[in-house]
Chain A
Amino acid sequence: MSGLSPEALALLQAEAHFRAAVPATAKRHLRISRKPLVIVPLGLAGEDGAVLALGMGRTREDLELLVCPEPRKWNLQTRLLRDFSSRLLRYLDRRAADREPAEVAPGWTKDVARRAPQIVAPTPAAATLLQRVAERMVWQRVDVGRPADPDMLRAGGWLWFFGERHELVESDSLLLVATDAQLLHFVPPISTAEAAHLLALNAALAPPPGSSAVAAARAVEHLTGSTLTTPEHDNRVLQPAIEAFNEASREGASRAALRPLGAAIETAVRPAVEALYAACHDALDRLRALEPIPPVRSGGRRTIAERHAFTRHADFLARDPRFARADSLRRGLFLVEDAVTEQVRVLREARWHDPLARAVASMTGDALDGKVRAVRETTVQLQRRVQRLELEVETPGPWRPVAGGQYELVWTETGFVFAVTHVRPTPGGASTRITLRSTDRVRDALAVLPQGLRTGSDVAFVLFQREFPGLALPDDEPWMLAGPSS
């Protein structure tokens, strides 16, 4: 996941190749909670959604390690999942219960969770593993006389929400993936494929003194970097340990006899989990060092939106929720529209608050940075003669507007919309002169624009995209779309 265009990414990678990691942004575009819940899951190769070990904690020092000595046995796996569920629910229930009013949309105040939760996973594979775990918990195998574990159901329902939102909403901060979050803000001198290994990525971003980024990354690549322990480690340590445990189980060994065998498995996985856990915290610290854009600060738009989404899901879970294996058309529509709307907002905010994001966007005409060369009032003939504000802006290098696009002046919260009326490169092509005319009355314009906007001042614009208020979802599928798939 990168906010950079392929061109910008390539440019910065070329730079990083000869120096070291370089920044991709000037600010932080993700919310970082003060004490997020870091979850480091380890799976078992070839198994699907099986959890061998799971480390979780809120601070660097407090890592709790849950281990399942034989994740392929459902009764043993459920023990781990139950432990996991109770801890996860403790974290989430507290937040869901603690509510306060907030303005979730202009003019609409609602009671929502006071603090938005945050789960941090090391890599995309870890996030996917958590999604698969969610599914297992939500669709538990229920036997006669053993009903579904309600805690597991709820915990699964929560993980489902986090996973789904992460899949669809750009720059989602409810579920943070340490590798992707860093790649959004930094360009390391390694490929994206290599950067999927969290330890390698961290090493490339902050190599120890005396080592190059690439060498530092190589040095840790042989360690567990995502959700699977390495084949070498499996062959040498893990598999024998699990085999020993299984054999003893099969021969009916007592719990006391099994305990040291289980402990051996724990010893086999602990270093990997600890390393990834520490790496997650390193990533968080690195991100915390960046100045956040306002929407992701406490009280910012995205933070409130996340609190709102979180609260909505809490209420959904309280109402006997159902989880389908494939989205219905209705649900799909809801998810798409939400995601598209949020994407528009996120792009705008990124460009609004981050000059580096604007620099990249200006190559496609989606943003503009320059100096004011002239400010004047002008008269325009529409249905009658009206006054408009006109700005002449000069930007270095070539620039072309989006066809038919309008631009918001980056100034106050809600900007001011201008239309581009003239674009001409200066002789020699060293810069471009653009004339922009406001689409609102001069009186209003001048009232809002502070005295700062004068010839010589720096000015910035982002592409204006009108937002349409949300529509209600249809109650049912219409007749031509109802019925089973063929």
Chain B
Amino acid sequence: MPFDEPQLAALRGELEPSANSARDLALTAQTPCLRRRALAIVGANPDSAAAVIGAESVHYGQSPFAIQIGERFERALTRDEFERLIEGLREQLGFPGDGIQVVDLDREIPFRFSGARKRGTEVDVARRRRERTDSMLVAILSGRDDAPAIVRHPRLTLAVTDSVRDVEPDLLVAWPGRGLPRLGEIKSYVDLRHRTDLSDLAKTRQQLAVYFLALERAVERLAVEGRLADGAAALASLRAEWPGDAGTRRPTIRAVTVLRRPQSMRPVVGIEDVRRDVELVQRGLTRTPATLVEILQGLPKGTRTLDTTTTIRALPTSYEPAWCLGNCPMAGACRDEAHRRNDPAFFGKMTRAVLAAAGDLDTAHALACGTRSPGEDPALRAFAERMRALRLRIDAARVAAGLPGAAGPVVS
């Protein structure tokens, strides 16, 4: 029985739920860190975990201005019956002129409860959204005329090994009558054509990949439930093929990106191929230890929740300054740890690769200075030989240049 939302909440304990679980899960394609992965699978907000262990973030954090522009852009797109979004889809993706049906689940089945007119508990709203999404998917895949072309915040379920949780992509887009549903994400960073920020694009694709897995799962389920005339065809329609050369076909998974035109609130709509990202996310999510059971088994005995310093710290990490400092609220703790342990990773991937043969900075420096012998191990000998040669040359050059002298033995 997969862990469901209430069970995940129980595992989270005092930890806040994640603000955007898809974004958290997408980072399994960006970092091998097991701690972040475990938190993502449990659906815990990493900021909350950081607060528990008292870690400090370094360059992480979202500015209110960034949040603001995100909200403004979404408002601009969805205002007036999604006028600007539709215009973008028409101009840039060849959407038909009229007959565009839009379903906005935020409006139709909102999470907000207004006073006496209680529209239902959160669980109930979630269920209704899921069901509505299901029926819209059936309509789209059946090529029905009344199928919507744009769905805002459809609700899908994602299975992550032994847990399930709901995710809500920004958009589901379908060319009327063609039965090809595509996921879409709205992002407020600007489209600079070929100079669009590569890191932003990568993250967007990875999020779309997470949503795609949920979409695929939904279609599979609908087929099993007999709601689709041809389940196999429906699944196949989620993917597409670029015509390759010489009659080869390149598999692709198309998703829609809605980026912002520079200095405006108008959209630039495009298609991205997220096939590779889907594979990566799939692997990231199933990488061992993957199941919650496995993760919990790795924790201190008797642990049932992830909301204590002991349990969070028991989850191993994988520090890499270029990613962690800007993306993780606990980076400060890992950085301190790496520094304390003389871990070459402290200085980044490249230095870690160069000094990996020595294991730690202490050994590397000592071998280079000749104050420690590499012993018999041939890998260490080769490393020491090379580093020693470089060290001697640098020291000689320093002397020749009148710079403060040779490097000395390790100073703890």
Chain A contacts to B: CB under 8 angstroms: 6-15, 17-19, 22-23, 26-27, 44-49, 74, 136, 141, 191-194, 197, 214, 221, 228-232, 234-235, 239, 325-326, 354-356, 358-360, 362-363, 369, 396-398, 458
CB A460 to nearest CB in B, in angstroms, measures 10
- CB contact list, B48-82 vs A, under 8 A: 58-59, 61-70
CB B319 to nearest CB in A, in angstroms, measures 10
B351 at the interface (CB under 8 A from A): yes
Given contacts A14-B364, A326-B193, A355-B401, contact A47 B65 (CB under 8 A): yes
Q: How far is the CA of A239 from the CA of B397 in the complex (A)?
A: 52
Q: How far is the CA of A160 from the CA of B12 in the complex (A)?
A: 51
CB B287 to nearest CB in A, in angstroms, measures 25
Q: Besides A8-B390, A193-B348, 5 other CB < 8 A contacts?
A: A8-B394, A11-B364, A23-B398, A194-B321, A231-B61
B301 at the interface (CB under 8 A from A): no
CB A7 to nearest CB in B, in angstroms, measures 5
Check if B61 sits within 8 Å of A46, measured CB to CB. no
B393 at the interface (CB under 8 A from A): yes
CB B224 to nearest CB in A, in angstroms, measures 42
Interface of B is mostly: helix
B408 contact set on A, CB distance < 8 A:
19
Check if A191 sits within 8 Å of B348, measured CB to CB. yes
Q: How far is the CA of A230 from the CA of B67 in the complex (A)?
A: 14
Chain B contacts to A: CB under 8 angstroms: 58-59, 61-70, 188-190, 193-194, 260, 262-263, 321-322, 325-326, 339, 342, 344, 346-348, 350-351, 353-355, 361-362, 364-365, 368, 385-394, 396-398, 400-401, 403, 407-408, 410-412
Check if B61 sits within 8 Å of A11, measured CB to CB. no
Check if A26 sits within 8 Å of B398, measured CB to CB. yes
Given contacts A193-B322, A396-B396, contact A46 B65 (CB under 8 A): yes
28 contacts between A and B (CB under 8 A): A7-B387, A9-B354, A10-B350, A11-B368, A11-B387, A11-B391, A12-B394, A13-B351, A14-B344, A14-B364, A17-B365, A18-B362, A46-B65, A48-B260, A141-B263, A191-B321, A193-B348, A230-B61, A231-B62, A326-B193, A355-B400, A355-B401, A359-B394, A359-B396, A360-B390, A360-B393, A396-B396, A458-B400
Check if A356 sits within 8 Å of B398, measured CB to CB. yes
Q: How far is the CA of A396 from the CA of B393 in the complex (A)?
A: 8
A6 contact set on B, CB distance < 8 A:
350-351, 353-354
Q: How far is the CA of A191 from the CA of B67 in the complex (A)?
A: 29
Check if A193 sits within 8 Å of B361, measured CB to CB. no
Q: How far is the CA of A336 from the CA of B27 in the complex (A)?
A: 36
B64 contact set on A, CB distance < 8 A:
45, 231, 234-235, 239
A45 contact set on B, CB distance < 8 A:
62-66
A229 contact set on B, CB distance < 8 A:
63
Check if A46 sits within 8 Å of B347, measured CB to CB. no
Q: Which chain A residue shows the least CB distance to B322?
A: A193
B355 contact set on A, CB distance < 8 A:
10, 14
B365 contact set on A, CB distance < 8 A:
14-15, 17-18
CB B213 to nearest CB in A, in angstroms, measures 28
